[in-house]
Amino acid sequence: MRVIMPRFSHRLALKIVLPFAALTLAIGAVGTLTATGELSSRSQGAFDAQLVHDGIVAESMVKTGDSERRAILRLLTNGPGLSQNWDKTAALQAWLERALTIHPNVIVEVVDTSGREIVGVVGHGAVADTVTRSHDLSSWPGLSYMLSGGATTIDLVASAPQPAIFAGQPVRNAADGLIGAVLVGDYLDDRAGTIKASLPHDDITFYDVNGQVLATSLPIPPSQFATLALDGNTRGRISPTSVVELPRVAGGPSTEILSPWTARTTNLGYVGTVGSTAGLLADTNQLRIILVTLFLAGVLFTLAIGIWLARRITRPVHRLVEATRLVSAGDLDHQALVTTHDEIGELTDSFNQMTRSLKEKSASLRTTMTQLQDTYLMTIEALASAVEARDPYTHGHTRRVEEYAVIMAEALGCGEAEINALRRACVLHDIGKIGIEDAILRKQARLEPDESMRMQKHPVIGVDMLKGIDFLDTVLPLIRHHHERWDGNGYPDELRADEIPLGARILAVADAVDAMTSDRPYRAARTFEYAKTEILKGSATHFDPEVVTAFIKSQRAIEDLLRNAAGEEMHHHPDSDDLGGWRMHVVGR
């Protein structure tokens, strides 16, 4: 029996090298983690310091903007020009536009004592100004309170139609009577953009006193502003003396520091300075990759040198292992090459001596096995011949069945191994009849039901006789099932269709042909044409249709065998209702 030896799952060279490679890898991993951790900590500290600095700069720029608004407001209210033109809309508009010469993007609003807009001017830089009139601004925070005399100045954030911050104060006539108010402001989007231009690596976000986003320079749509809202706990931790740091993911990974937003004594909300951490993470990851690459290169270099050295030591062992595989696969002529004069060399030489001895014993054993197999086969064939000798009418039956079956098997494209198994099955298919009484075998009339049942046991008897002979394993299914029918009504197992082995299906047709064209004790031999007609009638019921087709294609060769058979006599076609033909053979014999 051929023995397949498993390949080594762990090479000896790797067993030598891997511990050192693993140690190097462990040291490298610890070193990489320590170095990258320290560098990441330092980088994070530098990033935080820069972000705090930028936050202070942003807060300073916000205060500068507040001062600019108040300066423009003083410019407009100083002197009697504003009150003198109060009732002249065109002149009042011209007076207000003086503010745009200082700040081209400023917003100026003039309202009456009820908070209704008299005229409003919105600057757009080099683009023409926008002029509005008659809007009701009384709902702006603190405006009505100032117009009622409750305050002399005001700072407010108007959220509509676009978030903006204003500074305002009342306007009085020459008689010191309150006639309205003037407000100067700018849009928070413009203010955030101005600050970002000075801090290109950061973004600015303005929040109202409830923590809702008013404006931001982050590249996110207004529909995502809610994700940036500050909860009550966060707002409670923000004070003039401390800032709050928050991680952010909107617009990319980032960190935001928050500080209070006040104008004079008015709390307007909160200002957030957002610094992107993407660059920090990218630098840290790149550094980590560089360090890991260097350490891995060192490990691989160590591993390569170690494997090279180890292979020089273990190569003779590998040659010997390969030799054992070849010998176990049956190559007893192979001799392992002896390349050293140490213990491995002595082991190799001893292996070669063992292989030579094994070759000699194997040749002797193979000869003995062949002789034993031939003896077995001759004994069994002698038994089969003895079965035929019990019935002179079946003399030569197995030889003819073999010839017919081989012709049909070749027509079906069967391989050499299948045909060899079929040949042996043809010789031995009726050997089980040795266990059937002569009275049944030689009976010249139709068998009784109990006799038919006894006759139907001969395939099983034959298999039981041959069971345990290894070289006949492929033959036994053909012997057992050569009386099965395509429709499942055969015996002994009532197999049907493709459940029946192909060789048994071929043997069934060949057996039936010889049964019908040979003399039997209960009737004379039939003509080939009659046998062909009966085979065709049995297609898809008794026989495999494909095998029947192969029989029809091979009929000339089979008919030639019949004509050349010594002592064979042809007869006329019997009547169609004659039941003494092959059906009795298939069912009973």
Q: Check whether the bond before 161 is cis (ω within 30° of 0).
A: yes
Indicate which CATH number applies to the domain containing 456: 1.10.3210.10
The pLDDT of residue 110 is 92
Say if 570 falls within a structural domain: yes
User: d(Cα 267, Cα 247) in Å, to the nearest integer?
Assistant: 25
The pLDDT of residue 9 is 44
Say if 398 falls within a structural domain: yes
User: Which residues in the chain show pLDDT less than 70?
Assistant: 1-17, 20, 125-129, 312-313, 373, 376-377, 380-395, 520-522, 565-589
* Domain edge (last residue) among 141, 167, 190: 190
Output the 3-class SS for 89-157: HHHHHHHHCHHHHHCCCCEEEEECCCCEEEEEEEEECCEEEEEECCCECCCCCCHHHHHCCCCCCEEEE
Q: Is the Cβ–Cβ distance between 171 and 82 less than 8 Å?
A: yes
The pLDDT of residue 365 is 75
Backbone angles phi, psi at 212, to 5 degrees: -85, 145
The pLDDT of residue 566 is 42
Cβ atoms within 10 Å of 448's Cβ, excluding its own: 12
Antiparallel, parallel or unpaired: β 164-172 and 178-187: antiparallel
* Domain edge (last residue) among 143, 158, 190: 190
Q: Give the predicted TM-score (pTM) of the model.
A: 0.48
Residue with structure tokens 């049907």? 496
Contacts of 341 (CB under 8 A, 6+ apart): none
Residue numbers of the domain that contains 553: 391-587
* Domain edge (last residue) among 190, 213, 232: 190
Q: Is the Cβ–Cβ distance between 92 and 86 less than 8 Å?
A: yes
Which tokens go with 249?
A: 């993911």
Q: How many folded domains does the chain comprise?
A: 2
Say if 238 falls within a structural domain: no
Say if 349 falls within a structural domain: no
Which tokens go with 208?
A: 């109202």
Q: Starting at the earlier edge strand, list the strands of the sheet with 213-216.
A: 213-216, 202-207, 266-276, 254-263, 244-248
Sign of CA dihedral 563, 566, 568, 570: positive
Say if 144 falls within a structural domain: yes
User: d(Cα 500, Cα 478) in Å, to the nearest integer?
Assistant: 9
Per-residue exposure over 55-73, b if at least 16 CB sit within 10 Å of its own CB, e if not: beebbebbeebbebbbebb
Cβ atoms within 10 Å of 293's Cβ, excluding its own: 11
Among 515, 365, 354, which Cα is nearest to 429's? 515
Say if 124 falls within a structural domain: yes
3-state secondary structure of 41: helix
Indicate the DSSP class of residue 73. H
Indicate which CATH number applies to the domain containing 145: 3.30.450.20
The pLDDT of residue 13 is 63
Say if 376 falls within a structural domain: no
What are the Cα distances from residue 521, in Å, to 531, 572, 581?
Answer: 18, 18, 11
Say if 573 falls within a structural domain: yes
